Amino acid sequence: MNKTTTRLADGRELIYFDADDSAVRDAPDLRPLERGAPLSEVRRDPATGDWVTIAAHRQGRTYHPPADECPLCPSRDGRLSEIPAADYDVVVFENRFPSLARSTATGGSGSPDPLHLSSPGTGRCEVVCFTADHGLSFADLTEARARLVLDAWTDRTAALAALPGVRQVFCFENRGTEIGVTLAHPHGQIYAFPFTTPRTVKMLTAATAHRARTGRNLFEDLLAAERTDPERVVLAGEHWTAFVPYAARWPYECHLYPNRRVTDLTRLTEPERAEFPLLYLELLRRFDRLFIQRGQTAPVAPTPYIAAWHQAPTRGGDELALHLELFTIRRTVGRLKFLAGVESGMDAFVNDVSPEAAAQRLREVATAAVSRSAK
């Protein structure tokens, strides 16, 4: 992998990740950009203890531009974009409209009042472009390109976790307008949070209680139980296992775990990294075939999904297990799972599809021959 770091016209960092070690990336950003001044802070909800990010400046971010004005496509044919090069493999750059930034134009109140705690929204938000081809999706990537994306995620996890004040690094992809995506180009994001996210706090609390009760790790026991009784297992390789969780919240939700517990992406071994693209691409392709109507060979529309890497916080997270959660808000052809009263109001999910039926469906819609060890 060849890594080239440069700067955009407004000072933001941009990094090229190339499979070709001899690739040269020296095209300058010729746009007349001024350095942004993000207005970001984090405020603590005294009723739950959760931290909420306030980023009012993001109202003006780019919203559903036409394909020929996509800011994530390469700069070519006289049109300048966020990526100065005329082509690229994988690119990571600082978000122009970040929820969190290393320097913000506002700070916390500094008030000692426990009901009004706040602090500057310091952190970092990055965009990860998976390919220069606007019309592709992650599922269309080759195994080699998916591996390059994994290497980029790993590189950024290490770099961002080392920044002062960063407590957790979150790599994720949103796909589909139904999810809320405003740029159609295949891409994901990385957030470096100045706090541990609420979902992670819940998982660590459960893992701590499990350790106190059993003396064992919660996630190791969870994965072992699914592999022993594989009713909900979708794919099983030598180094990774994908399964629908017993208490899935979403109609179609699948978790992908390395069989050896590690806390973050930087701790994966080479064999684990090598196998990941095979299983993950197959899983994404199966998601794309979930909602094919009778008599058709292709879905009416791509499956909207969120793919989220759960990694341990930078401190106090040794009980957590690295894993990827993939889920869609579509529950059947033409129908979405809306988070209405009980979900949005009380965080109490109601799932319309049994996890066992979802796992069976994901096994049925296999799209390609997989290796004997990953059926």
Give pLDDT tens digits for 45-87. Answer: 999 999 999 998 887 788 889 989 999 999 999 999 999 999 9
Confidence tier at 178 by pLDDT (50, 70, 90): very high
pLDDT for 61 = 80
pLDDT for 297 = 67
Fold match flag (2-195 vs 199-374) = yes
Tell me what the mean pLDDT of segment 4-14 comes to.
Answer: 97
- With 90 as the cut, is the pLDDT of residue 325 above it? yes
> Is residue 187 flagged as an active site residue?
yes
Distance of alpha carbon 245 from its chain centroid, rounded?
A: 18
pLDDT for 31 = 96
The rounded mean pLDDT for the chain is 93
What is the C-alpha separation between 185 and 173, in angstroms, rounded? 12
pLDDT for 239 = 98
The predicted-structure confidence for 337-346, as pLDDT tens digits, reads as follows 998 899 999 9
CA angle 148, 153, 159 (to 5 degrees): 125
| Percentage of residues of the chain with pLDDT beyond 90 | 83
The predicted-structure confidence for 268-292, as pLDDT tens digits, reads as follows 999 999 999 999 999 999 999 999 8
Is CATH 3.10.110.10 the right assignment for the domain spanning 2-195? no
Name the active-site residue from 57, 185, 187, 310. Answer: 187
* pTM, two decimal places: 0.94
Topology, domain 199-374: HIT family, subunit A (3.30.428)
Tell me what the mean pLDDT of segment 172-180 comes to.
Answer: 95
pLDDT for 64 = 86
Q: What residues does each domain of the chain span?
A: 2-195, 199-374
Distance of alpha carbon 200 from its chain centroid, rounded?
A: 14
Tell me what the mean pLDDT of segment 109-132 comes to.
Answer: 90
Tell me what the mean pLDDT of segment 331-340 comes to.
Answer: 90
Q: Which of 60-64, 129-133, 168-172, 371-375 has the lowest mean pLDDT?
A: 371-375
What is the C-alpha separation between 58 and 183, in angstroms, rounded? 14
- With 90 as the cut, is the pLDDT of residue 240 above it? yes
Tell me what the mean pLDDT of segment 83-110 comes to.
Answer: 86
For helices 198-214 and 218-228, give the axis angle rounded to 10 degrees.
80
Tell me what the mean pLDDT of segment 165-183 comes to.
Answer: 95
* Higher local confidence (pLDDT), 374 or 182: 182
58 token code pair: 């993001």
Confidence tier at 95 by pLDDT (50, 70, 90): very high
pLDDT for 308 = 98
Confidence tier at 374 by pLDDT (50, 70, 90): very low
Tell me what the mean pLDDT of segment 360-375 comes to.
Answer: 69
Tell me what the mean pLDDT of segment 185-198 comes to.
Answer: 97
Confidence tier at 110 by pLDDT (50, 70, 90): low
pLDDT for 38 = 83
pLDDT for 292 = 83
Confidence tier at 293 by pLDDT (50, 70, 90): confident
- With 50 as the cut, is the pLDDT of residue 253 above it? yes
Contact present, 19 and 1 (Cβ < 8 Å):
yes
What is the C-alpha separation between 193 and 99, in angstroms, rounded? 10
Tell me what the mean pLDDT of segment 249-264 comes to.
Answer: 98
Contact present, 337 and 352 (Cβ < 8 Å):
yes
pLDDT for 35 = 86
